[in-house]
Structures are given as structure tokens and as C-alpha cells.
Amino acid sequence: MSSLDGLGVALVTPFHRGKVDFQALGRVIDHVLSGPVDFLVSLGTTGETATLSLEEATQVVRFTVEHTASRKPVVCGLFAGNNTQALVDLMSRFDFSGITALLSASPAYNKPPQEGIYQHYMALAETSPLPIIIYNVPGRTASNLTAETTLRLAHGSSKFIGIKEASPDLMQGMKVLKHRPESFKVWSGDDPSSLSLLAAGADGVISVIGNALPQAAGSMVRAAPKTILHEPDITITGFSISMNGST
């Protein structure tokens, strides 16, 4: 999954007179791929997934895969919801061709406890034919996936390859970074705080602003101080901060 390091862009879904505007979606994809972008996310929250019919969602995914034409990996964010069994059933009949991984947000509205969220994700892991990126976005789901539950999932199934962490609590993201398995990735899911999480050792960003500014967003991610990732050795002397020997 090294192909998913760096910048992923959660694509918008353009509309015209109440219908998905596929011509405009194609232009969005081409614009995003004009920058240093590493992968695309189709049907994330930004893609209006919650308000699309299954037919529309399927058409959007297939169009995105075909229009991208293997230029970059495509991650599918369709498999999020509060009906676990319905998601399992959808997984059993969905066409995953051309898709590299899935992005799955925690159940919304129900506000399940941590054990409920854990069991929800484990049920998806048992069914999914593809790797899964966990998505913690408490501002939309009304529940927070704690660092402890994230780490439990990371160690509980190899199907989970990482988390898109959109919690406003940077300490939570840093705890996951410190204790995660070596192969488990962390992407910032919050544009305003993404630089901070990158500086703490995150593997990349799944961005919204990248739809408009792919060059700037990609350049920021590539400029992340790779030499100080993963538990930097920081010392403070007077007004100078030294990180791994650099001041």
C-alpha cells in the first residue's frame, strides 16, 4: 500500500439540474491529477455519498475508475453506514474492479459505544475482498473512534491498512502514530490541522482542498519533514528547538 502514501483527494461529485454531471467530474479528475497527487478517493463525504442512490454511486465509481485509467490508485468510500448487515450484503455483490482499497467511516447517528464500532468494522473486514482504511470523523458521525479502539482494530485484522483521522484532537492521532503496527498508515482527514499531523509522523493527507488546489496541497505533503517522522527526538535549549540534530 505504499502507493497510498502522500496526498489523496476526496473528489467532489458535481451536479447539474439534480443529476450527476459526469462531464464536469471528468474535468475535476483531470484537474486534480495535474498536481502531485498520489491517489483519488471516490465517494468520500465530499462526494455527496449519503445523498446518492446506489445506482448513482455505482456510476460515479465506475466513471472515476475508467476516467482515471490507471493514472493513480482509486479508493472507494461507498462502504460507510449504520446498517452493518446492509454493508456486508453490498460488499458481497459489488464490482471492485479497478479499486485499490475501501474507505469506511464509523456508523453515523446511532452513536454506538467503542465495542459496537469495533464489531462493525470487524464484520466489514471479514467480508471485504480489499484493504480497508478506517475513517474517524466525529464531526459527522457523532461518535469518536478512540486511539485505543483504532489500535485494537489495527492489531485485530490485517485487512485494516490505516486510518483517515479527522478528529480535532491531535494528541489522539499522535497516540495512534506512536503505538501503531509498522504497516498501519495514518492520513490526516482534516485540512486545517494536516500539517501538524504530518509533522508528527503521518503518512499523508486525504484532502478536500486538493480538489481546488492540487499543486499546493501536494507540494505541502511532499515537503513534510520525513527525517523527523515517527517519534522525533526533540530537545529545547533557550529559544532553539532541535529535531534529530537539525535546528
**How far is Cα 184 from Cα 169, in angstroms, rounded to an integer?**
19
Among candidate residues 72, 118, 121, 164, the one labeled active-site is 164
Residue 164 annotated as catalytic: yes
Question: Read out DSSP for the chain?
Answer: -GGGSEEEEE----EETTEE-HHHHHHHHHHHTTSS--EEEESSGGGTGGGS-HHHHHHHHHHHHHHHTTSS-EEE-----S-HHHHHHHHTT---TT--EEEEEPPPSS---HHHHHHHHHHHHHH-SS-EEEEE-HHHHSS---HHHHHHHHHH-TTEEEEEE--S-HHHHHHHHHHS-TT-EEEE--GGGHHHHHHHT--EEEESGGGT-HHHHHHHHHTS-GGG-SS--EEEETTEEEETTB-
Any idea which residue has 483527494 for its cell? 9
- The answer to whether 8 touches 37, Cβ cutoff 8 Å, is yes
Among candidate residues 118, 135, 159, 185, the one labeled active-site is 135
**How far is Cα 61 from Cα 76, in angstroms, rounded to an integer?**
7
Report the chain's C-alpha Rg in angstroms: 18
Annotated catalytic sites, by residue?
135, 164
